[in-house]
């Protein structure tokens, strides 16, 4: 069962990227940055694997990912700017928006100001939700998108580079395959546990209307 769930998630992401190339990367990263729980930590390494396969170019992969972050973040910025906290409280639960993540993003933004958008893009989890407090504060959009792109590009590049290097190791180092085949069930169980933990914690702590 665990193999089927992990394989299905991997198949969906790689199918989108394989079919649409850079456009698929842009779309998936836009979904993630619109506060939908589709982790970039899965998306970009698969894109990096296709770089290793010669189907994509690393720099363009990182750029497509960063542009996708800008696109999805624009949706979240507008939700924060024109819906405010009440809008987020009403609809955030439908995308498993964790109020702890939102509170942390607001705290960072209140403490460091606009530069938080750049810094948060280099951090797991909080990077997904930072556009909401930026929108609530009505941070100027030009500066918001500049910081978003500058922070997202190295994040996307690093994850894609890791995927590319893992692809190279898979094809050139027999020890890599041996280790994987020896421990693949444990790896898949860990991946499954990580996905289930993310979904469960965000379901338990999702923003609800009575938390406005």
pLDDT at position 211 over 60: no
**Phi, psi (5° rounding) for residue 54?**
85, 10
Lowest mean pLDDT: which of 5-14, 38-47, 71-80, 203-212?
A: 203-212
Residue owning tokens 């390494």 = 45
User: What is the residue range of 139's domain?
Assistant: 2-211
* Residue 84 region by backbone torsions, left for phi larger than 0, else alpha for psi between -120 and 50, else beta: left
Confidence of residue 199 (pLDDT cuts 50, 70, 90): low
pLDDT in tens, 86-145: 666 665 555 555 566 667 667 777 777 778 888 888 887 777 778 888 888 888 999 999
How many separate domains does the chain show? 1
CA 101 to each of CA 47, 120, 131, 133: distance values in angstroms, whole numbers, following the listed order: 27, 12, 12, 11
What distance in Å separates the CA atoms of residue 3 and residue 28, rounded to the nearest whole number?
22
Spatial contact of 24 and 16, defined as CB atoms under 8 Å apart: yes
80-89 pLDDT, tens digit each: 888 766 666 6
Token look-up 């890599």 returns 176
Look at residues 154, 158, 114 and name the one whose alpha carbon lies nearest to residue 133: 114
Phi and psi based region of residue 58 (left: phi greater than 0; alpha: psi -120 to 50; beta: remaining): alpha
* DSSP state for residue 98 in the 8-state scheme: B
Distance CA 2, CA 18 (A): 24
Read off the pTM.
Answer: 0.72
The residue ranking higher by pLDDT, 47 or 187, is 47
Contacts from 183-186 at CB under 8 Å and sequence distance 24+? Answer: 185/2, 185/3
In this structure, how many other beta carbons lie within 10 angstroms of the beta carbon of residue 185? 11
């Amino acid at each position: 069962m665990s193999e089927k769930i992990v394989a299905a998630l991997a198949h969906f992401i790689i199918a989108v990227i394989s079919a649409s190339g850079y456009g698929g990367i842009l779309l998936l990263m836009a979904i993630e940055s619109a506060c939908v729980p589709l982790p970039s930590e899965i998306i970009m390494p698969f894109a990096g694997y296709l770089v290793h396969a010669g189907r994509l170019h690393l720099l363009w992969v990182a750029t497509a990912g960063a542009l996708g972050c800008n696109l999805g973040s624009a949706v979240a910025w507008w939700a924060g700017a024109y819906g405010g906290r009440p809008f987020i409280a009403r609809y955030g639960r439908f995308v498993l928006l964790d109020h702890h993540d939102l509170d942390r993003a607001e705290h960072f933004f209140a403490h460091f100001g606009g530069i938080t958008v750049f810094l948060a893009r280099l951090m797991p989890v909080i990077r997904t939700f930072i556009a909401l407090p930026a929108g609530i504060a009505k941070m100027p959009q030009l500066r918001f998108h500049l910081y978003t792109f500058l922070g997202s590009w190295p994040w996307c590049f690093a994850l894609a580079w890791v995927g590319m290097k893992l692809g190279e190791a898979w094809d050139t180092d027999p020890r890599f395959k041996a280790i994987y085949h020896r421990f693949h069930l444990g790896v898949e169980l860990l991946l499954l546990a990580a996905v289930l933990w993310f979904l469960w914690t965000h379901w338990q702590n999702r923003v609800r209307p009575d938390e406005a």
